[in-house]
Amino acid sequence: MIKRTRIALIHATMVAVDPIALSFRDLWPEAEPLGVLDDGLAIDRAAAGALTEELSNRIGALAAYGASTGAKAILFTCSAFGTAIEAAARALPIPVLKPNEAMFEEALGVGDDIGMVATFGPAVAGMEEEFFEEAKRIRPTARIRTHLAAGAIEALRGGDAETHNRRVAEGATEIGQCDALLLAHFSTSRALAACKAATSRLVLSSPDAAVRKLRRLLEN
């Protein structure tokens, strides 16, 4: 029996679960994704208004648990905990990926002018900071413009994926010309097809980019 490569997926919200499962199914079906859910993280992050020490400690504990399962790498799927994930990565001997680092790397390989559609406001400032940190390493002249698709995540949490996808696609058209368009969160990747239909620009999603990077890291 062939032993599959286990990847621990740390989720802070249920709406991120299906998108990454689909990406693994389509791009790396031989892997063994193992989900770990603390769906209070996103709630508590929004309520706190900042990444607190308590939240950072929870991120570290979840990463340690993921490593204890025998996972060869850890992928966080919520984009509001960047610095805490970086600290967890320093503490563990296996790769620990932030949700969007692979997508940012792919976008920065395309051009300077990057657009991003987000649906979870508290994550935006941290994501843009992470983008510019990656840009310093890959393409220092890069810039990013973010559109917050109001009401989209609330619609999705209420079970209305169609409204979510429509509002994200509308945001994609409002950004205007750019070299690549990013769908900010794992949950936002549900609107990938709608955004590709609404614009001729290159559209990247974080789950697909993350799976591509993990496969490169662990199979090479």
Which residues neighbour 155 within 8 Å (Cβ) at sequence distance 6 or greater?
A: 161, 163, 164, 167
Region 24-34: mean pLDDT is: 96
Range in 56-60, 119-123, 197-201 the model is least confident about: 119-123
Per-residue b or e along 89-109, where b marks 16 or more CB atoms closer than 10 Å to that residue's CB: beebebbbbbbbbbbbbbbbe
**Tokens matching residue 66:** 């993921």
Region 191-201: mean pLDDT is: 94
HSE (CB half, 13 Å, CA atoms) of 215?
16
pLDDT tier at 128, thresholds 50, 70, 90: very high
Mean pLDDT, the chain, rounded, equals: 94
CATH 3.40.50.1860 residue ranges of the chain are: 6-99+208-219, 101-205
Vertex 50, ends 102 and 17: CA angle to 5°?
45
**CATH architecture of the region 6-99+208-219:** 3-Layer(aba) Sandwich (3.40)
Among 3.40.50.720, 3.40.50.1000, 3.40.50.1220, 3.40.50.1860, what is the CATH number of 101-205? 3.40.50.1860
* Position 33 pLDDT exceeds 70: yes
75-106: pLDDT as tens digits = 999 878 889 999 999 999 999 999 999 999 99
Q: pTM of the full predicted structure?
A: 0.90
What pLDDT, on the 0 to 100 scale, is given for residue 176?
87
SS3 content of the chain, % helix, strand, coil (to 5): 55, 15, 30
